Structure 1
């Protein structure tokens, strides 16, 4: 008898307040689905540099990693879920999130990114996720509630 991996809730993270709220929603929804949380920060080369292919990607990769780490700390403080996984990937954010949704029970994204790392999750990403994801999608906006969701 094979064991199936736990269901996943995928969260798009770009460092914006909306992605922090998305992480908080994921923590609330995880018990409902008996799921783990998979946070993804996806980045691509800035659009203002078409055709630009730098020798190294560490500058962009490091910036995305920093924004992911800060978002996790902002969302959870010291109470980061023990089974949370996170990754930083070089891919267009919408494509990365839609691909990750293939193995997810829920995808959570912010309505509009506007994060400090330009280009990670823009408003068009949430629209693309709603249109193309392989699972249900929850689109969140900045919180107005006292508990952050």
Structure 2
């Protein structure tokens, strides 16, 4: 734990969604006061049943994840990425990789990908249930506005 206190690290799961862009922005905002670095992790894998097409290669999957990560970083920060934000491209299942990565993190941030305000996505659920550090789940800005509207209020008013 002492190493984490000296060099805090925030890991952000990035899948290119609006929620993951919001998670990146949140991580960058928290990094300053915490004196932490941010690692933006994009995870990719070969879909089940792809074995027949291995002649084509798996580089396309890796490349797509890399492009998605770069687009998310640009959406979050514009052309000038903060110097304390680093990237990692990981092969495997996102939930498993993020949980394992959380062993060496001070904070794990993921976006919520569920279909309603009450259901979390499988990756965020896995992280909440199994991470080895605190987990922050971030809603996409439009999603939060829609939830506030459904409650008859405004974002940040607690539904009043």
What TM-score bracket applies, with the shorter chain setting the length? Answer: 0.7 to 0.9
Q: Which runs of 5+ in 1 are unaligned?
A: 115-121
Gaps of 5+ in 2: 145-160
Q: How many residues align?
A: 135
Matched, 1:43 2:44: yes
Residue in 2 aligned with 1:89?
A: 90
CA deviation string 1:62-83 (max 9, x = no partner): 0000000000000000331112
From the two aligned structures, give the one with the greater helix fraction.
2
Task: State which structure, 1 or 2, has the greater radius of gyration over its C-alpha atoms.
Answer: 2
RMSD: 2.4
- Structure 2 length normalisation: TM-score? 0.76
- Counterpart of 1:124? 122
> Cα distance, 1:99 vs. partner?
1.1
Distance 1:91 1:101, change over 3 A: same
TM-score of the superposed pair, with normalisation by structure 1: 0.81
Deviates most, 83-92 or 10-19: 83-92
Identify the residue that residue 25 of structure 1 maps to in structure 2. Answer: 26
Q: In structure 2, do the counterparts of structure 1 residues 113 and 91 end up closer, same or farther at CA, with 3 Å as the change threshold?
A: farther
Aligned to 1:118: none
Q: Which has the higher contact order (CA 8 A, sep 6+)?
A: 1
2:88 corresponds to 1:79: no
> Structure 1 residue 135 and structure 2 residue 133: aligned?
yes
Distance 1:132 1:51, change over 3 A: farther
